[in-house]
């Protein structure tokens, strides 16, 4: 079974540590030299990676790394108990709210971005309804 870790590029490592501690309650656990800090407090390890702006994200990339708001199909959801409280905490720490709190049958969600342009969501699940809505995976069902 593969293990999962989450890596978030930031252009200022200490600012990233401060933001994720204040916004969602993660705490610095270990430092790997001057370019990586592991944060604890989530169900998977979270690593902040110091990457300079205008550097290529991979060899041969046509685009350079920047820290303005950007979109990616992979993003982070933080599951929270009280979404209104979590939203205030994140915004106070420097997050930008990009939506109102939206309510669905399964719970509530709000879209945000961190100070480094990375999108993330705060999600408050109605655990009973969420589980009730699901069925075992079967190939080809739609």
pTM over 0.85: yes
What local confidence, expressed as pLDDT, does residue 141 receive?
64
Domain assignment present for 141: no
* Domain count for the chain: 1
Report the percentage of the chain scoring pLDDT > 90: 82
Residue 71 domain boundaries: 6-133
Tens digits of per-residue pLDDT, 20-34? 999 999 999 999 999
- Answer yes or no: are the C-beta atoms of 117 and 70 closer than 8 Å: yes
In percent, the amount of the chain with pLDDT more than 70 equals 98
Does any domain span residue 138? no
Residue 51 lies in a domain: yes
Mean of pLDDT over the chain: 93
Q: What is the pLDDT of residue 75?
A: 86
pLDDT-derived band at 94 (thresholds 50, 70, 90) equals very high
Nearest one of 88, 84, 89, 79 to 123, comparing CA atoms: 79
Does residue 140 form part of some domain? no
* Domain assignment present for 64: yes
What CATH number corresponds to the domain at position 46?
Answer: 3.10.180.10
Query: Across the chain, where does the E strand assignment appear?
Result: 6-10, 27-32, 36-40, 46-50, 76-79, 96-97, 102-104, 107-113, 119-125
Cα–Cα dist 142/138, whole Å: 9
- Report if residue 1 sits inside a domain: no
| Alpha-carbon gap, residue 6 to 89, rounded angstroms | 21
3-class secondary structure, 66: coil
Report the candidate in 123, 125, 122, 121 with the shortest Cα–Cα distance to residue 106. Answer: 125
Q: Is residue 142 part of a domain?
A: no
The average pLDDT across 4-30 equals: 97
Phi then psi for 27, rounded to 5 degrees?
-125, 140
Helix, strand, or coil (residue 79): strand
- What pLDDT is recorded for position 142? 57
């Amino acid at each position: 079974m593969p293990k999962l870790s989450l890596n978030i590029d930031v252009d200022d490592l200490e600012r990233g540590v401060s933001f994720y501690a204040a916004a969602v309650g993660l705490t610095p656990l270990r430092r790997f030299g001057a370019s990586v800090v592991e944060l604890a407090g989530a169900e998977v390890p979270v690593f902040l990676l110091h990457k300079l702006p205008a550097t290529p994200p991979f060899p041969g990339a046509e685009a350079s790394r920047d820290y303005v708001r950007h979109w990616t199909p992979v993003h982070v959801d933080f599951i929270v108990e009280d979404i209104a409280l979590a939203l205030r905490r994140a915004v106070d720490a420097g997050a930008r709210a990009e939506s109102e709190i939206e309510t669905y049958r399964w719970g509530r969600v709000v879209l945000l971005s961190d100070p480094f342009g990375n999108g993330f969501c705060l999600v408050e699940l109605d655990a009973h309804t969420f589980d009730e809505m699901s069925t075992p995976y079967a190939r080809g069902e739609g």
